[in-house]
Amino acid sequence: MDRSRRSEGHAYRAGSFQRLTRELACETAVAISYNGSSHAVLMATPSDLEDLALGFTLSEGIARQNQIERIEVVETPLGADVQVWLTEEAADTLAKRRRALAGPVGCGMCGLESIEAAMRHVPDVASTLRLRPGQIVEAVARMERGQELNRLTRAVHAAGFYDPATGSVIVREDAGRHNAMDKLIGSRARTTGGVPAEIFAGGAVVMSSRLSIELVQKAAIAGCGILIAVSAPTSLAVSAAENAGMTLVALARGAEFDIYTRPDRIIDGVMPDVA
């Protein structure tokens, strides 16, 4: 399935109209089904859909990776159906706590049946990762360089995993920031084996978007010790990060950034006396 499509229109420039040709990010309905039964419908960029389904399954606590037998992507006239086949044990557990999602692009909370489900507890993050200020700057810069689809369309978010040992960043893009995070979780899970607390071990997560509570929840479940974003966090995101023991860095642009929680993980910088 195409990630982008060319479109023609008109541009108003310097007081006059001219013909315009632009590449637009594709967006399609993606159904995630478990053992033949539709569970969630997401509006997503049609790329890395197996990663999306795997990451969604893990970050939502639907099943462990060793309970997933296979994942198949089936294209349909209306979009894509990502079929996830679970073990009998996992399928039975899911049947007891089903929920359905059907929302706009990257809707992280749509369709939840209760406030308690939306405000779910996240595990404490047991991360020993430490980063220098220069590594945060490097992480953001390399994530931005990896945003190939966004350079083409200026319409998608990115989630990146920064490895401080190599300086490399794995990037996943999507029209929805929650989808981008799930794609990254799925991609990393294939490397780490999917043990939730180890998915983001040894590195930091970088987001091209603002930080909401859902992103903090997903990152914490995957063992993220340091979460970095180029835009600001919400108050609930900061509270969730603090409760999980996660370092939350935001407004990371150029050589500047703000630290909202657990500043002890950012070393070699002079912290102000807040006593």
Task: List active site positions.
Answer: 107
CA distance 51 to 174: 12
CA distance 205 to 203: 7
Q: If you write DSSP's letter for every residue of 209-275 in order, what string do you get?
A: S-B-HHHHHHHHHTT-SEEEESSPBPHHHHHHHHHHT-EEEEEEETTEEEEEE-GGGB-SS------
Report helix angle 49-59 to 177-192, nearest 10.
Answer: 90
- The CA-atom distances, in angstroms, between 197 and each of 59, 126, 135, 182, 268 are 11, 8, 23, 15, 27
